[in-house]
Structure 1
Amino acid sequence: MLAEHYEQIEAIVMNLAMAALFVLMFFAVHDVLKKNDVPALGRAVAYLVLFLGAAGFIAKGIIQLFWQSSGIGS
């Protein structure tokens, strides 16, 4: 059974690992911004950049899902 679902398990673990890395990056950025007393605009820009990076991975996953369902990325 494991050999049959190896790719699916690998994809799920990879997505969970990426989500965990983005959460850890958020905590690291939050800690640095808090300790250095960064103004609100600087915090907003830092969080926006972090969010856009995560959104890029989410968009890649959605595009890949659509392509594979239509037979393009097989």
Structure 2
Amino acid sequence: MLYDYINALESIGLDLLFAAIFFLIAMAIRDVLNRGNVPAFGRRIVWLVLFLGCSGFIAKGLIQLSWEGAGLG
């Protein structure tokens, strides 16, 4: 039974791993920004870059799902 769903479990586990890594990165960046007294403009740039990185992974996942659903992948 479990062997039949190993690919789905592996995919979900990898997605959760990436989510956890991005969360930990965000917490570390927040701590560094708070301790370093970074100006507001610098904080916005840092969070923008982090958001764009996360959105790239989300877009990749959605594109991959749509392509696999259409039989292209």
Taking structure 2 as the reference length, the TM-score comes to 0.98
Higher share of residues assigned helix: 2
1:59 aligns with 2:42: no
Q: The residue matched to 1:4 in structure 2 has which SS?
A: helix
SS at match of 2:23: helix
Count of equivalent residues: 73
Deviation string, structure 1 residues 11-50 (Cα, Å, up to 9, x no partner): 0010001000000000000000100000000000000100
User: 1: distance between equivalents of 2:43 and 2:17?
Assistant: 25
What stretches of structure 2 of length at least 5 have no aligned partner? none
Name the amino acid aligned to 1:7. Answer: N
**Consecutive aligned runs of 4 or more in structure 1 exceeding 3 Å deviation:** none
Match of 2:29 in 1: 29
- Separation (CA, whole Å) in 1 of partners of 2:31 and 2:5: 39
Query: Is residue 19 from structure 1 mapped to residue 42 from structure 2 by the alignment?
Result: no
Percent of aligned pairs with the same amino acid: 49
In structure 2, the residue matched to 1:3 is 3
